[in-house]
């Protein structure tokens, strides 16, 4: 696993997803600017945790697919339904 590549690609993906850019949130009394909620990815020597999910070992095929998507420069395919505009 190329952790340097993962970290570099996560930075690029964060920019694509609008990191640091506020979005307009409509409220009953008008509108306000809101920062998108981040989705944390915690890397350990033996696995990962995505968001507030369970620990996932690197040997798990779903974990391998998630990291491969990131190393290929894409948002993890497992998140596409939940975050169609990116995370």
Average pLDDT, the chain: 88
3-state secondary structure (DSSP) of residue 1: coil
Look at the chain and report how many structural domains it folds into.
1
* Domain containing residue 24: CATH number: 3.30.420
Report the percent of the chain where pLDDT is more than 70.
97
CA 68 – CA 48 distance, rounded (Å): 13
Instruction: Determine, yes or no, domain membership for 56.
Output: yes
- Contact 51/39 with Cβ under 8 angstroms? yes
Cβ-Cβ contacts under 8 Å for 84 (sequence gap 6 or more): none
34-75 pLDDT per residue, tens? 877 788 999 999 999 998 999 999 999 999 999 999 999 998
CA 34 – CA 51 distance, rounded (Å): 20
- 3-state SS, 30-58, equals EEEEECCCCCCEEECCCEEEECCCCCEEC
Mean pLDDT of 28-35: 86
The residue segments making up the domain with residue 46 are: 3-82
Q: What integer pLDDT is reported at residue 65 of this predicted model?
A: 96
Instruction: Determine, yes or no, domain membership for 14.
Output: yes
Residue 87 has pLDDT above 70, yes or no: no
Q: Supply φ then ψ for residue 56, to 5 degrees.
A: -125, 115
């Amino acid at each position: 696993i190329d952790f340097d590549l993962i970290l570099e690609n996560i930075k690029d993906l964060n920019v694509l997803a609008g990191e640091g850019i506020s979005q307009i949130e409509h409220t009953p009394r008008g509108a306000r600017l809101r920062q998108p909620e981040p989705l944390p990815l915690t890397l350990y020597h033996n696995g990962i945790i995505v968001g507030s999910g369970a620990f996932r070992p690197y040997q798990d095929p779903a974990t391998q697919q998630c990291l491969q998507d990131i190393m290929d420069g894409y948002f993890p395919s497992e998140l596409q339904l939940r975050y169609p505009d990116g995370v």
